[in-house]
């Protein structure tokens, strides 16, 4: 079974991904792949530099994520340009890793994709699991984690599809407002219902 794991910024999706890893599930991490494809020497980084200029690079030639992030969070045109470069490269590597896990005998592969719905990647998976929190908790966690003002946090949250819409599109939802233990109980229950073996 191929399960798509998603959520929104600061909903605790990474926490759930770690739980799945600890339970022995095969995991394909889109964020990790997105970091790998922009490493110095990779064609994707050259393409980003061509489009956004040398100022998005650090002195050592690596991508200055913060500077690029600031540009794209406040400008939809720029965000679209970046996505057009990043998404095809990330998708290709995700599918390669998924196939490799299956060839190596994994019975369930978790595709950890933050922008699963925004990128219309539902066809990559058989089931979608959404990690959700209440808006107030989401804002508070994001402000604390990324040292953002309320306005900056709201802008980042608004740049994604509303979490309520993701909940409606999901096959199952984990509500991550409580403790880690409560989240893990929900996760275990869903995996059992789906018969998803590691």
The Cα–Cα gap between 150 and 2 comes to 36
What element of type H or E holds 3?
strand 2-6
Is 12 labeled as ligand-binding?
Answer: yes
The Cα–Cα gap between 17 and 23 comes to 10
The Cα–Cα gap between 51 and 80 comes to 12
Q: Which residues have CB under 8 Å from 114's CB, separation 6+?
A: 6, 7, 8, 9, 13, 30, 31
The Cα–Cα gap between 18 and 29 comes to 11
Is 15 labeled as ligand-binding?
Answer: yes
Is 11 labeled as ligand-binding?
Answer: yes
Is 13 labeled as ligand-binding?
Answer: yes
Is 134 labeled as ligand-binding?
Answer: no
Annotated binding site: 10-15
Annotated binding site for ATP: 10-15
């Amino acid at each position: 079974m191929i399960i798509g794991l998603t959520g929104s910024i600061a909903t605790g999706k990474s926490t759930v991904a770690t739980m799945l890893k600890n339970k022995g599930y095969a995991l394909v991490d889109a964020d990790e792949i997105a970091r790998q494809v922009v490493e110095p020497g990779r064609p994707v980084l050259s393409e980003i530099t061509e489009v956004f200029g040398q100022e998005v690079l650090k002195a050592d030639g690596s991508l200055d994520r913060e500077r690029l992030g600031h540009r794209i969070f406040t400008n939809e045109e720029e965000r679209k340009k970046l996505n057009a470069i990043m998404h095809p490269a990330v998708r290709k590597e995700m599918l390669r890793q998924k196939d490799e896990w299956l060839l190596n005998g994994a019975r369930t592969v978790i595709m950890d994709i933050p922008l699963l719905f925004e990128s219309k990647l539902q066809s990559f998976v058989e089931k979608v699991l959404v990690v959700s929190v209440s808006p107030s908790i989401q804002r508070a966690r994001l402000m604390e984690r990324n040292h953002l003002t309320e306005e900056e946090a709201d802008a980042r949250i608004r740049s994604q599809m509303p979490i309520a819409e993701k909940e409606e599109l999901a096959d199952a939802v984990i509500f991550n407002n409580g403790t880690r233990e409560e989240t893990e109980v929900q996760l275990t229950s869903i995996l059992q219902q789906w018969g998803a073996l590691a």
